A and B are shown apart, each in its own frame.
Chain A
Amino acid sequence: DVKVTQSSRYLVKRTGEKVFLECVQDMDHENMFWYRQDPGLGLRLIYFSYDVKMKEKGDIPEGYSVSREKKERFSLILESASTNQTSMYLCASSESGLEGGNIQYFGAGTRLSVL
C-alpha cells in the first residue's frame, strides 16, 4: 500500500513563527502536492512538485514556500505564520504519466492552528 506520512496531526503555532510541515511518501512517486482544506472552500492547491528540486505554484501560493531536496520528501514552509493560515493541510503524491498521475494518495493531514 502507498503510504504518505505527515509529520504532525496537530500543530499550534503563534503568529509570526516559521512553520515547517513535512511529508514523506514511500512509493517512489515523482509528483507531490500540498493542499489546504477549509470548510466551504474544499481542497485548494498550494504548491506541487514533479521532480526533485522542482516546484510549481498552485492556486494559492502566497505566504508559503516549499522544498523538495529528496524524491520522497516534500516540505511546506510558512515563513511567518498568520491567523488566516489556520487550516487543515494535506500532502499527496502520485506517479508521473497520464494514467497514474491522476490518482493521488493523501496523507492523514495536519491541522494547524495559528494563534
Chain B
Amino acid sequence: RKEVEQDPGPFNVPEGATVAFNCTYSNSASQSFFWYRQDCRKEPKLLMSVYSSGNEDGRFTAQLNRASQYISLLIRDSKLSDSATYLCVVTLIGGTSYGKLTFGQGTILTVHP
C-alpha cells in the first residue's frame, strides 16, 4: 500500500464549479500535512498547510481527519488558473526524518471555460 494515496483524476470542471480532492495516508504517526500545487512543466510549490481544525485560504479549504487518516482539499468558484496538479504531502517528525516529505502521486485538475 502506498504511504500517501490520491485519486489521480483527471478532474475536468467548468469555471465556477466546486471541486474536492481526497487523500489518504497509511502511517498513523504522520505529524504534518500539506497541499502542494504543481503547474504544468513547473516545480511544486506549497499551497497550504492542513490543520486538525481545518483551515481556509480564500477559495481553498483543507480538512484533516486523523481518525480516518484522510485529508481533503476543497476549491470553490474554480478559476482557469486553478488548473494544475495538486499534491498531497505528509511528513513524519523525529528520528532521521528531518522534514522528509512523502508526496502523493498528485491529482490533475483542469478548469475549462
**Interface on A for B, CB 8 Å cutoff?**
31, 33, 35, 40-45, 48, 50, 56, 58, 90, 94, 96, 98, 100-104, 106-109
Q: Which residues of A contact B93 (CB under 8 A)?
A: 98
Q: Mark B43-83, 1 if CB is under 8 A from A, else 0.
A: 11110010000000000000000000000000000000000
Assuming the A-B contacts A90-B43, A106-B43, are A40 and B105 also in contact, with contact meaning beta carbons closer than 8 angstroms in the complex? yes
Interface of B toward A, CB cutoff 8 Å: 8, 32, 34, 42-46, 49, 87, 91, 93, 96, 98-106
* A102 & B104 in contact (Cβ 8 Å cutoff): no
Look across to chain B and name the residue whose beta carbon is closest to the beta carbon of A9.
B41
Q: Are B43 and A109 in contact (CB under 8 A)?
A: yes
Q: Are A94 and B99 in contact (CB under 8 A)?
A: yes
B87 surroundings in chain A (CB, below 8 A): 42-43
Contact, CB under 8 Å: B43 / A45: no
21 contacts between A and B (CB under 8 A): A31-B99, A42-B87, A42-B103, A42-B104, A42-B105, A42-B106, A43-B44, A43-B87, A44-B103, A45-B102, A48-B100, A50-B98, A56-B98, A96-B98, A98-B93, A100-B99, A101-B98, A101-B99, A104-B99, A108-B42, A109-B43
